[in-house]
Structure 1
């Protein structure tokens, strides 16, 4: 039916693997697991066994016929638990960003043998922020030449008030996505085009009720974000709504042409 299929695989936030193989779980010095705000455990991104597990899962998906493997949560955790984590390595000699890059190279080599496209989801805030790069281990420029496509999550709701000179970025979908994508182009411009990942940003298809000053996201706001992607010189994008409820509002009907 000419449908392009993507298998999204969550990487290092994996309470199932952490419970089944406790030695792979990320822990604090007292031995307690590192968890997120919802109590979900993480595994250690430095462990080769975790890399192998995630690669084998992806190979199974490729064998089932998926065209692309999209690795999500391919990063280090954040928060007080994460700051206290014992990673079991000399992190000055082997920094977080190198571990993430090495994992994606390791998995990519194996998956390319199966003819599978390999992509990674990354925080949009790592674009232009060395602090965020060091925290989560996602180096936008480095990953832009490691995977086949990179998907920065440039949801306007994820930017703090004042970012890009906007009082409430969530209330300015076009301007926020436009600024983020311009930053993307600047960070990747030194990479030869033949070696540069396709940029396919995640766009906001939900209303962020928790953001003070937020606006409702409907067809107009979705269309504005999509147009910002096109205006920045990019051709691909993907929508996110955690409930998996999507409306055709904001999408063009077959035969319609984008601006």
Structure 2
């Protein structure tokens, strides 16, 4: 009996101990869970905010003072702890970044990525196009250098924490501008770029003898322009190029045979030169008159471009910009009017003409696969001087720009938009641009070369006047010209590749008596390289004569470097 009682007590004791152990375990689990909850609650995923592109991270040094440790781009996501400290009247919050602990100024932490941009105003350093929205090329307005902008939003941050585009308000204008053209204060906005005396080189230049009315170099922008390098589309820096007009593209196989056998590494193909090369939907919407002129079907044109690319040849799409009577017929409101000229010429001031040509370019890159877009006739007409001295000319100058200003402003706009497609921009200029003045039609070499990826001048040997024979000695004519052009390239911080058009037709054009065979091509190219223009060449033959290319093909095979 006594044994049974002892056994029962022992069993009860064991049960009690077991219950106590279970209670302890349960309490421990509850404690761990609650503790875990506290840890989760005390941690927050936040973003670093600032009124510039970087945020400073700090650590406490041995004297318990805040020491700047590193800088990171704003918009960076960090883990924030509810651990704050005051130092020198500034409140800091402890954060974790890349598995290390730091402190940041508490006001630099926000919950929403859209709140990381704290600046409220900016100033225009380089005159800016204002876009209707942040996604396409539609132009709302234009704001000149020195003006203040209120910041009301942004589209996205770049890797370095800078904003890509700001949403802005200025008086009654509300739209979007690229941040790279803006600075933080009015004084900086009004300054000119004079590193190494760049601005001083240009500011007082003018044509000797008379006013040309093309504009003053002092009004142009010389700040460095960042030129892209696309990983899947390398810019061709030493070109041996053929030119093909839209009418011969159907015979692409014959031209490719010459190209592949003789070292041609680039072909320039027309997209628009008067007539359209193919039925562009952009033209259908904006310039129906141009749309009706299409020479090739979209399929045959695309097939030709594909064949060029399959041959490993860099392909450039050429667009004649402002010399466009078809667009002029559809949009007379955008054209220059003057009793000094009967030309139907869309003004380079016209934002409608800007938009049309850039949209054509973007469409061509996306649908046809061009590596590069080449803009020709980026200027006012040759008789712009006569138009300017007549008081009854209307250039449609809405934003009070000089001619050279609007040419450069157009190229800022075009470069920004075409680069978004992953393609490069080249621009053709007259040979006269190698001089130290702004031309009457608004071209100034340094202001153009500083912005675009490639500059292609046209020093055709029979285009230097008729009184003196400049075409027989092709080397001397081109070399004399190229020395001036090479000097212009040294006068700016971000010069383009100089890829030059050369004469590939018999000269002079009004009485062709000097045959331009392979040796004349070689002479011109050698003249370019000897003067320091080493970006290569493009052969100009307006007819794209297959017979002429057969005649000069050996010149492509030669090594000029």
Q: TM-score, normalised by structure 1?
A: 0.85
Q: What does 1:94-113 align with in structure 2 at a 5 Å threshold? A: 94-113=401-420
Q: Secondary structure at the match of 1:138?
A: coil
Matched, 1:55 2:355: no
In the TM superposition, residue 144 of structure 1 has moved relative to its aligned partner by 1.0
CA contact (8 A) 2:462 2:508 kept: no
Contact 1:223 1:251 survives alignment (8 Å): no
Please report the RMSD computed on the Cα atoms of aligned residues, expressed in angstroms.
2.5
**Separation in 2, partners of 1:256, 1:213:** 26
Check whether the contact 2:350–2:396 (CA below 8 A) recurs between aligned residues: no
Matches within 5 A, 1:173-184: 173-184=474-485
Name the structure 1 match of 2:6. Answer: none
Give 1:78 deviation, angstroms. 1.6
1:121 corresponding residue in structure 2: 428
Matched with 1:144 is: 449
| Distance in 1, Cα, partners of 2:356 & 2:374 | 15
Gap change, CA 1:161 and 1:209, over 3 Å in 2:
closer
| 1:166-245 alignment, distance < 5 Å | 167-192=468-493, 195-210=494-509, 215-233=514-532, 234-245=534-545
99-108 vs 167-176, which deviates more? Answer: 167-176
> What per-residue deviation string (whole Å, max 9, x for no partner) do you get for residues 65-88 of structure 1?
111000001110022874454113
CA distance in 2, matches of 1:255, 1:225: 15
Distance 2:354 2:485 in 1: 27
Which residue is equivalent to 2:318?
8
- Is 2:396 the partner of 1:88? yes
2:371 is matched with which residue? Answer: 67
1:46 corresponds to which residue? 349
1:117-172: CA deviation from partner (whole Å, max 9, x where unpaired):
00100001121152xx331111101111010000010111111257xxxx421122
Distance across 1 between alignment mates of 2:364 and 2:529: 31
What secondary structure sits across from 1:157 in the alignment?
A: coil
Uncovered stretches (5+) of structure 2, i.e. residues with no partner: 1-309
For residue 155 of structure 1, the aligned residue among 460, 468, 471 is 460
Asked if structure 2 preserves the Cα contact closer than 8 Å seen for 1:152 and 1:202, the reply is yes
How far has the Cα of 1:33 moved from its partner? 7.4
The match for 2:154 is: none
Out of 240, 244, 247, which is 2:549 matched to?
247
Which of these residues, 378, 382, 406, is aligned with residue 78 of structure 1? 382
Match of 1:21 in 2: 331
Where 2:353 maps in the other structure, the secondary structure is: helix
Q: RCO higher in 1 or 2 (8 Å CA, sep ≥ 6)?
A: 1
Q: In terms of mean alpha carbon deviation, does 208-217 or 17-26 score higher? A: 208-217
1:190 positional shift: 2.5
Distance 1:183 1:254, change over 3 A: closer
Q: Are residues 48 and 201 of structure 1, via their aligned partners in 2, closer, same or farther at CA, if it must alter by over 3 Å?
A: same
Q: Is the 8 A contact 2:449 2:489 kept in 1?
A: yes
Alpha-carbon separation, structure 2, partners of 1:224 and 1:207: 14
Cα distance between partner residues in 2 of 1:129 and 1:191: 13
Tell me if structure 2 keeps the 8 A contact 1:75–1:138: yes
SS in 2 for 1:103: helix
CA offsets, 1:14-53, max 9 Å, x none? Answer: 1111111221222226xx9741xxxxx2111101111111
SS in 1 for 2:549: coil
Q: Secondary structure in 1 aligned to 2:318?
A: strand
For residues 218 and 173 of structure 1, what CA distance do their matches in structure 2 show? 11
Following superposition, the deviation at residue 253 of structure 1 comes to: 7.4
Name the CA distance, whole Å, in 2 between partners of 1:230 and 1:33: 39
What is the count of residue pairs matched by the alignment? 243
